[in-house]
Structure formats: C-alpha cells, structure tokens
Amino acid sequence: VIMRQVAWVVAAGAASQLEPVYLWMGERTVNRIETMAAAEGVSVTDLVSRWVRLRHAALYDKDDELAEADDEQQTVDAGCAAAEPAQVYPRGLTAAKSVAPPVSRPPPEPVASSSSRPSTSTTTTTTVTSPKSSATPVPPPQLEDDEDDEMGEDRRSARALHPGLRKLREKRSRSGAPPTTTTTTMPHGVDAAILSWGSTRAADGSVKPRGLVDAFYERMSSQRQRRVVLPPPVGMTDETARAWFQAVGGERKQVVLSWVTGGEKFVPLGINLGVSAQRHAPDLASRFVMVSLDAEAHEAMTAAGVRSIQWFTSKSEVDMWHFKKRLLATMLRWDLEALVVDADTVFLGEALHACRFDSDLEAGTDHFFVEEHLWKSELRPEENINTGYLLARPTVPAFRLLADFVDQHWDAQRFEVPRFGFDQRVFNVFLWWRRLGHGDLDAGPPVYFVFGEEILGAPPSFIGAPVDMTDPNPDRAVRLRVLDPVLVSHGMNYFWRGAHRHPGAASPVFVHANGVSPKDYFLRDRCLWYLDDWHQRFGPSPRFLVYDHPSGQSLGDDFRLLLSAVEVAVSLERRLVLPATMNCANSPAYEAMGIDSAFAGQGCTFDQFAGAGVFLREYNETVVEAGLQDNPWFRSLLRGAAKVRGRDVGAVLRDGGPRVLVLDDVLDAVEVLRSVLGSSTAEHMFKCRWLSWPARHMACRDEAWVERHAACQPASGQEACGVRGVNCCEVMNGWSEKLQVFTGQPWDLPCDCGINACVELQPQAADNVPANYRCCQWVETTRATCHPVESQPEVNVEEDLSSYTSRILHAYHRGEPSVTPEILRRKCEQWQLRFGPQMGLATSVHDILNHCSWVVGSFLLSVGNSARAAEWFRFILNVRRPVGVADSGFVTTSLLDDSFDSEGFQRYRLHHDLEQLAFLRERAPPPGVDLSRVWLDEQIRRYQALLQGYNSMADDAVIRSAFEAMRGVWGRAFALPICPELPTRTVAAGPAACAAADLELESGGVAVLSDVLTKAALRAYRRCLDHASVWYAAGMGNMTGKDDVVVGTCMHEGLGLFPLTHQIGQELSECLPRSLGQHNLRDVRARRFHTAAPDSVMWDPRAEDGVWAAYLFASTPAGGGDGLRVMEERVPEDWSELEAFGMNTDTGRGGGGRVVPYQENTLVLFEAKRFHAPIFRPATWEQGFENRRLDITWLYGDSHSRFARDISKQDPSTS
C-alpha cells in the first residue's frame, strides 16, 4: 500500500518531467521503507526508482495520450464557450473542471483533520530520481495511510499535467528567455538538471547566499520582530512552516500566495483564483498557496482542490490592513522569493513571466499610460503602485522597506485619529516620501522606480544594474520595478479600456478586478469566472429572455431599449440577458482611451457608460450578464430556445413558453404587455430621482490637480432627473471620474443616460419642500419624489486628511510653509463637505471645526510635536470660540463632554465665570490678555443680571433675554494668556524619587511624588489657568448630587495652547522614563471645584482613556479630609466607551482602594484605566476665586482602545 502510494506521486512527477520529487513521510513509514530496502539489499533510492519506472511504463505506454491531452488543453483554453461544467463543492461553492489539476498534494496540512495524518514534528525528506528530469521539484506530496484510487485517477492526473508544462517551455522559448540548465547536487547526492531562473543568481552569476534577511531580522527589537513577521500557521512551528514553504518553493525558492477569509463574498473569489492558476498557469500553480485566515476558508479551499494553509483560527486574530506586507516579510525571512496577489484576481498565464527579477520589488500599477503619469504630483498617489500584485525578493533592503512600513503604520488609530482604510494609498504615500529621499517618520533609504528601461530619481550608476542580492546593507536604496499594465492588468485597463485587445498588445498574464463593482459581475461577463455555480444562482428551472439589441444607436435609444427589455422580463417573470451590442462610440473614452481600436466592429456592454454597481443593486434579480451566453449550461438551453415576435408575446403569457425566449422587437412586446396587463409595469418598477454630477469624486477637481489646471465643471444639462439605478455620471472607480485627468477628455454623458423618462418638478411653497431638495416625476404619471442635494466642496482635498497617515498633516507637522493653520482649517472644511454626507457626518460650521480641531490636535500630540500643537490649539480655539460673534446661528460645543455650551448655562459655571471676570478686573493681566475695565464691567453687569434672574425664578423669557445679551462672550475665548515655557526646569522631584515611582508603577501600584513641581512652575501654571477663559464644561465629575459642582477643561479646549502645559508634561515623562517616558502626552484635563456646594457630595469612580495618569493636586486646602481614591479595579473589556470614559455616567463602582490625602504640589500616578474618584469636602476650602480646588491630570499613551470618536470611525475609502 505504501509503495503504491509512493509510486503514484512519483510517477505523476516523472510523467510531468518534474525532478526531483520530495516525499514527506512519518518516521514510522520511513523505517518501514528502509527495512524493505535492506531486506532486498538495495538503497532506498533504487527501491523507489524501480517502482517509478514500473509505474511510469504503465502510465505512458501510448504516446498518443500526450497528444490527446494537448488537444484537451487547447479546447479548455479556447474561451467561455468551451468551459466544462464542474463538480459541486460544499457550501454551495463550485470550481470549474480543470484539465490540469494541482500537480501534487501539499506537504502535511498544518491542521490535522483525522488521526491518520502523520505528525509534522517527525518527518523525513527523501529524494528520488525519475526517468525524465529537467525541471525543479514540485511541492512535496502528502503520504497518507488511506489507499488511493487505482490506475484511473493516477493516469488522469499525470496525463493532464504534462502538456501544460510543455506549453510553458514553448512559451518561454518564444518569449526569448530560454531556461538555463544548471547542474547542482541535490539531497542524497543525486545530480539533477534544474530549471534556473534569474532569481536564483546574484549579479555576478554566482549562486546567491541565503540567510541575510534572517540575520537582519535577528538584529531587530523583539517588538519589531513580532510586528513585522507573522506567527506560524495553525498547528506549525516557525521551523516546520519555513520547511513547508521552502518545499513548495522548490529549487527556485519561489512561492506565489494569495489570502482569503471565509464567507460567501470572499471564498468564491479565492477558489476562482486558484482554479485560474490550475487552468492557465500550471507551473505557477505548483508553487501557489492560498493562505486561509480562518477554518471556513481553509475547508472551502481544500474541498475545491486549491492548496491552502490555515494561518489563523479566526480572521479576528489578525489586522488584515497590513497582513499582505507581513506575509511578504515572513516569506523573505524564510529566504523565499514571494509574489502575493489579492484574491479578486485571476491568472491568465504564467504571471511571473511579467517580471524582470532585477529589482527588490516588482508591482503592478493603476495607471493607463505609465511613462506619462507615474508619480505625477497632480494625480492621486494610489494610482502609482497597485499592491494587488506585489513581488518581493529576499534582499535586506526589501525586507527593511516592508518592516518600516508595517512598523510605522502598526496602529489602527493613534490618539483616536484613525489610520486611513485604503492600505494601497498609504503604501504609495510611504513610497512617495522615500522616493523623495526622506521618510517622514524615519530616515529610511530612498526608493527608485523603474519602468521598462527608464528609472526615476536614481544616480546614473544605478540605471540598468540589477540589485545585488548578496548586499547585506539595509541602507542601500530600494529598487522597485513597475510592471506593464497590460501584462499585469488592473481592472480599469482590462474590463473597460480593453488594453489587451488593442492591435499589437501583449496578452495579459494577470488581471486584477479592482476599481470595478460588482467584481463577480465583471469576472463573469468577461469570461474570467471559473466556478460552475449555475444551479446555485438560478435553481432547477431558470427562464431567460434574450432580445435583439440593434447596434449603432444613440445613447438614449440604447438605454431606453434596455429598460424596455427589463420591463418585458419582469412582466414575463424571466431573467433578462443583458446585451453586448450597445454603441461603443457613445462613450467619451471611445477615442481618448482607444476603445475604437480595442472594440473595432464590436459592441459594448452597458457598464461602459453607466455604473454597474448602481444598476445591479436595483435590478439584480431581473438581469444577468451578457457573458452568460457563453456559458455551457446556457448554450445547452439555447438549443431549445424559441424566437418570438414582439407582437406575439401575449401567447407566452398564456403557456409560459420555452426556457429561453428570444424576442425580435422589444418595443412591440412592451405595447402588447401593457395592453394585456392593463397598466404600465414601468410606472411601478422605475422610480425617478435627481442625479447629481459627482463633484466629490471627480479627479479633475482634486486640489492637487486644480493647482495646475482649471477645475472641471458639469456640462450644461448634465445633471437631471433620471431613472433610479441608471446613472451615466458615476462609472466608478477609475473610469468616468478620472478620464479627464488622464486624457483631457471630459466625461460629458448626461447623468440620466439620455433616457428623458423623468422630469423635474418645481414644488409649490405649500409643499414645504426644503430649499436643497430637487423633485422628479415619471413623465407618464403625476407622482413625484424629492431628494436632498448636498452642497459641493470648492475642491476635493486629499481623502485621507482625517487620518494619521495624511500627507497634509505630516506637512504641517514638519513645518512646511505651504500649510499654515488657516490653510489647514480650510482643507478640513472642504474635506468634511466632500465626505461628510456619505459618512453620516454633519457639515454644520461647529461640527466641521470640532472635527478639525480634534483630528489635527490629536495627530500633533501623537507625534509629540508640542510646538506645533500649541500653535494649532491657539489658532483653532479662536476660530471655534470667537469673541463678539453674537449670531444666534453660531453654535459652540465642548470637546470635553460634547455639550452645546452656547445654548444654555449651568449655575456653577455662571458663578465661576462671574468670579473670573471680577478677578481679571482686579489683577494685572499677563502677556496675551488685553481686556479693558469698561468691557469687563459691562460683562460683569450682564452676568449678574442673568444670575439674579435665575435666583429669583424669573420668567423664562426674562432669563432667555438676559442670556441672549451674553452671546459673543459666553463660552468664548476672550482671555488667552501666552504662558510660555520657563527657562528653568519645572519638575523638582529628584532622580531617586522618580526612579522609585517608576518601579512602583511598573509593579502595578500607585506612586506618589510630593513637591513634584518647582514653586515657580506651580505658581506660573496656576496664574495661567486663573487668567484663561477656557473653562467651558460644567458638571464633569461623575458625581451623584448637584450637576454643577465643577467646571473643567482639557487639552483641546484651551490647555493645549499653553507651551507651559507641554513643558511640564515633557519633563514629567523624563522624570519617569520607564512609564510615562514610553508614551507621548495624550491629553491634559483640569477641574475647578465649587466651594459653595453641599457638604456631602458622592462621586462615582471614573477612568481615563490612556495608559498612565499623572494627577496633580495644584491648590492649598485650608483643612484636611480631601484627596483622591484610586481603586484596584480597572475598566472591564466589554464596557462601551460611554460606560468606561463618559463624563456623567454612573459606573456602579464602590469605594475601597488607596486614598491619597490632598496636599498641594503632590502628584498621584496610576494606570489610567483604574477607577478613581476625588474626595471633596467644600468646607475644607476657603472662599474666593483663587482658593478654589484645582486638580490637573496629564494623560500619557494611546490605550489602543476599540473605541473611536464618532467623527473618526469611518474614512471615505471604506464608506
């Protein structure tokens, strides 16, 4: 049984001329084979080779079988029409029958499915010589204990594989890159002729050494190692995983990988990719592995015959944002050359043949005309490198580049500012800075880009020189080759432009279905769908409608006829097969993009003119793709089709008709059906709506483009009322909105596709329709619907502005003069006008300013730029809270507790502000505060009038009138002192005290530092806060009792604009380097307490969103009893953000823990997520503004909580 199995896999390899064949066996199996060999007095190699020869003779006793297999392969490659139905796989998934199945089964699976599978911990590798040996070894097959099928399956597998490899060699010969034959010593001393690629050679022709990347990896910090390299797959160790993949890579040490998760959306794409490799790229398929991120995906891939390895038990265990880069880095560390492709791709040939193997990395692009557009600053950066096809070679510079990228973008959010969701754009921005010769966050080496024979930005000595694979220098410049966008096609180039159809164009070997939606529609329609899911889609008795769609019509006639056909299909309860004969010349890209030559004499599908995603969301249950006519199942039904004249369609209503009905005149059929059914189906099926020109998406309105060109505008009459689901202005993403920037030709199709079935209705005043609504009605009815029309931004700022990966934010951080606070504010406004509506963000003035203040301020704090942060906070606070703007429509909201503080008042805050105004009148103002006594007296009078009205329980109208008189001052930044840094140190605590506190925190305790600040620093900071009108939040204390016992402020509401705030925070982190010093300052919060409050105030414990809290007692109490209670309990992981960090939430936590008595200039240090509560007794404190209790908390570190502010939860790339 064992030898029969061995002979099967070896014979399959021998018949395919794949040599040597590696056998992975359990230790017990190896012992048994060695015993058999010893009994016969021969070597193991001789014993197995004898079985190979016998088996080979049985398999290949007829040469004409090879010719038959060649014919079979040619039949399958002929196109969709020749595709054969496939077997049905579990979970309703199917895979097209492959003439060339996987050449062998993979090494032992990482997750055992039965007790019979041998353990990976005790395996031995044996090599045998087969009679035909001229190629590299295939991945080692798995030796199972179960007996395989007999001769029939062996013959089919071996026979089908051979012609694919023969064609591969012929293709290589035709391409002018013949294989190099080299003799090398294989295991057990077997000399074998191997097929050598350029990737196995250094620049001087010598065999490149291995292990340089691994050596560099070992020198990295442990944290960086964990981030950059993946943990081993499920059930494997690092060493067994390395051996597994190296065996898959064979002598070339080259693997091709993709990755997929479970679910109906992703698994079919993964199977489709795997089957395309088996069908069109058998050599690549021998090195192809699908990395499954959960058990569901792994089971589905395995059942479909796609080699899979399960890397995680659940996709929730991994951040998929940078998984691709980590997967590449892991392969490089294992000394493998790796191509990683996205799952929404297909192989149409040996995709590695598109590479030159002369650079560290090779990648696809989303440009159409690379020579003209690569790295042009006015174009969107994500166009330059398409990471859906990314080849990395095991060089130290390539590994470092990937490691730097992953490390710099590890966090999903930083200080609640998110990482941009579209990783391809972020990677391109990262390369943008490296291309300029300086990394933004580090001093990384430059990246040079090569296309064809041209290289960008490199010194002359670099041109034409392949990278030195033996160079261990991590600071060497990285060379990245951009590949031909026809050979490695992006979705827009293949599905729309049809670049491969142009005369003289090369045949693509790889297609990425990016930029098109729905992906499965385009793959099916263009005959790139290899799964036979016919029955899952249509059931046992599908009924279709095909109609005659004349060519050469106008755009309006094309779409009116199409909608008429949809109406007929609905009336007859059939699925309409979409036409492929629409007039290509109606497309604005017809000449500009060369469609005239690509589709010469042919028609186009509707998706060339209108958005397929929008159309199919509306009519998916009624229509199917035009490419279905090439499906074998449909062609079999077509043999029984009946052609019916339109005027005779009434008979079909009575008897149902055949499975496929072919109509010669749809318009006649519409008239008949309307007369028979008594009403217009169109009236009920087609809804009208206003179709706006998509200014927010148009690349010709991008800010970078508008700096050099005029912003594009919609053509006259282009916006219109139209049929819902049919929109010829939104052929996204990469077609209509980018045509003008790539070619100069505007996309000027009418948004309603020229149908003219809907008209705009002017509402009457009595209809109470808001001014920003447009109303439309169907021409044949009086029914109208109205839809909002959002305001458009002047220009489209970069879509990642609200993320920590933004180029604009980094430019301001670096101090580039082109980005000032005012320019940044305007960009924020344009960004929210652009993306706010689609992300559910409000676009009112105060919402925009709050968003901008939070994102920019938090970003600057996350990178530790205190100088820029202070500048920004001062600027934006004056914009958010301007003095004297009394317009009732101007709203201010607190960033501390999200309250609308301009729309009402709280009693203690009113008390506090009145006392502060009186204090400012009597004290000499500090630098930055310039208030006249006359102005202060007027404000004091107004505050007193409001307080008196409130205390006397005056009429609401009287109180409202008094409050309105305070607009322009209440909640405004009328006093903002400078509060500069001190020339001397602010922290007085000595090294011994700081070190002891650090150790206490490290052990999980609560540390206390007495006399922590110098007297000068404490005095200066108190004076700063006494004179600053930054106390906008009231009731911020989590207390039971009065809701206005405290007023508060935070970094974003004023404390951040004082340089002294940042100086104290920085020096505290220097004092405690092991705790605070490991993190940037995140926030500062301050509270003032009301001494006139009731003597008994119960405080609910609260926690802070950070890593460390440094809580300062900044006042001098008159008596004892006050302090801070820090509890052992921390915020539970399953709590919501509101429960954990809300301002006025009853946490339900009680007392206990450590109590630190209140003493001026004492700092209490603890984990920020520990519950804590102030102990406050009003009688302890003297009366007077300067005597109020003042507590200040510096918060350090990003908690990396699963929470984010509502304004930052989404980004436009994922909306």
Lowest mean pLDDT among 107-111, 383-387, 543-547: 107-111
Lowest mean pLDDT among 1018-1022, 1129-1133, 1198-1202: 1198-1202
Model confidence at 482, pLDDT cuts 50, 70, 90, reads: very high
Q: How far apart are CA 856 and CA 821, in angstroms?
A: 10
In this predicted structure, what is the pLDDT of residue 585? 97
The gap from C-alpha 1048 to its chain's centroid, in whole angstroms, comes to 38
pLDDT of 1202 strictly over 50? no
Residue pair 362/341 in contact (Cβ under 8 Å)? The answer is: no
Q: Which helix (H) or strand (E) holds 857?
A: helix 845-862
How many CB atoms within 10 Å of residue 593? 24
Lowest mean pLDDT among 93-102, 434-443, 842-851: 93-102
pLDDT of 20 strictly over 90? no
- The SS3 of residue 26 is strand
Give the closest residue to 730 by CA, choosing from 738, 715, 688, 786: 738
Looking at this protein, which amino acid is placed at residue 331?
Answer: M
In this predicted structure, what is the pLDDT of residue 772? 87
Q: How far apart are CA 830 and CA 1068, in angstroms?
A: 38
In this predicted structure, what is the pLDDT of residue 1159? 96
Q: 387: exposed, middle or buried (C-beta count within 10 Å: 0-12, 13-18, 19+)?
A: buried
* pLDDT tens string 559-582: 999 999 999 999 999 999 999 999
Lowest mean pLDDT among 52-56, 408-412, 421-425, 1073-1077: 52-56
**Residue 488 CB partners (closer than 8 Å, separation 6+):** 351, 354, 364, 389, 508, 509, 510, 512
pLDDT of 307 strictly over 80? yes
pTM: 0.81
Q: How far apart are CA 336 and CA 256, in angstroms?
A: 10
How many CB atoms within 10 Å of residue 298? 27
* pLDDT tens string 861-915: 999 999 999 999 999 999 999 998 887 778 888 888 777 887 888 888 898 999 9
pLDDT of 723 strictly over 50? yes
In this predicted structure, what is the pLDDT of residue 733? 84
* pLDDT tens string 23-38: 556 666 667 677 777 7
Average pLDDT, integer, range 723-749: 95
In this predicted structure, what is the pLDDT of residue 139? 37
In this predicted structure, what is the pLDDT of residue 175? 39
In this predicted structure, what is the pLDDT of residue 2? 58
Q: What is the DSSP string of 190-229?
A: -EEEEEE-GGGB-TTSSBPP--HHHHHHHTS-HHHHHHHS
In this predicted structure, what is the pLDDT of residue 6? 61
- The SS3 of residue 682 is helix
534 vs 12 pLDDT, higher one = 534
Give the closest residue to 10 by CA, choosing from 127, 173, 172: 127
**Ramachandran angles phi, psi of 519, nearest 5°:** -65, -45
Model confidence at 112, pLDDT cuts 50, 70, 90, reads: very low
869 vs 1096 pLDDT, higher one = 869
Residues facing residue 418 across a β-bridge = 413
Q: How far apart are CA 694 and CA 714, in angstroms?
A: 9
Average pLDDT, integer, range 991-1006: 94
* pLDDT tens string 128-174: 333 332 333 333 333 233 333 332 333 233 323 323 323 333 433 33
Peptide bond into 20 cis (omega under 30): yes
> What tokens does 763 get?
């509402």
**Ramachandran angles phi, psi of 337, nearest 5°:** -85, 130
Residue pair 253/200 in contact (Cβ under 8 Å)? The answer is: yes
pLDDT of 498 strictly over 60? yes
* pLDDT tens string 1157-1180: 999 999 999 999 999 999 888 888
787-to-350, 489, 772, 782, 790 alpha-carbon distances in Å: 50, 39, 8, 16, 10
In this predicted structure, what is the pLDDT of residue 1197? 93
pLDDT of 834 strictly over 50? yes
In this predicted structure, what is the pLDDT of residue 1213? 37
Lowest mean pLDDT among 67-76, 392-401, 1176-1185: 67-76
> What tokens does 238 get?
């690092």
Model confidence at 1035, pLDDT cuts 50, 70, 90, reads: low
How is residue 88 annotated by DSSP? B
* pLDDT tens string 365-374: 999 999 999 9
Question: Sign of dihedral through CA atoms 577, 581, 587, 590?
Answer: positive
In this predicted structure, what is the pLDDT of residue 134? 30
Model confidence at 1153, pLDDT cuts 50, 70, 90, reads: confident
Q: What percent of the chain has pLDDT over 70?
A: 78
Residue pair 340/398 in contact (Cβ under 8 Å)? The answer is: no
pLDDT of 11 strictly over 60? no
Lowest mean pLDDT among 427-441, 710-724, 1045-1059: 427-441
In this predicted structure, what is the pLDDT of residue 922? 93
Model confidence at 480, pLDDT cuts 50, 70, 90, reads: very high
In this predicted structure, what is the pLDDT of residue 978? 95
**Residue 1032 CB partners (closer than 8 Å, separation 6+):** 881, 892, 894, 896, 901, 971, 1047, 1049, 1053, 1054
* pLDDT tens string 905-949: 888 889 899 999 999 999 999 999 999 999 999 999 999 999 888
Q: What is the DSSP string of 619-637?
A: HTTTEE-GGGGGSHHHHHH
Model confidence at 1155, pLDDT cuts 50, 70, 90, reads: very high
Q: How far apart are CA 655 and CA 222, in angstroms?
A: 74
Looking at this protein, which amino acid is placed at residue 590?
Answer: Y
Give the closest residue to 1099 by CA, choosing from 1141, 1154, 1049, 1042: 1042
Average pLDDT, integer, range 421-438: 89
In this predicted structure, what is the pLDDT of residue 459? 72
Residue pair 395/336 in contact (Cβ under 8 Å)? The answer is: no
Model confidence at 675, pLDDT cuts 50, 70, 90, reads: confident
Average pLDDT, the chain: 82
In this predicted structure, what is the pLDDT of residue 679? 66
> What tokens does 445 get?
């080496």
1036 vs 465 pLDDT, higher one = 465
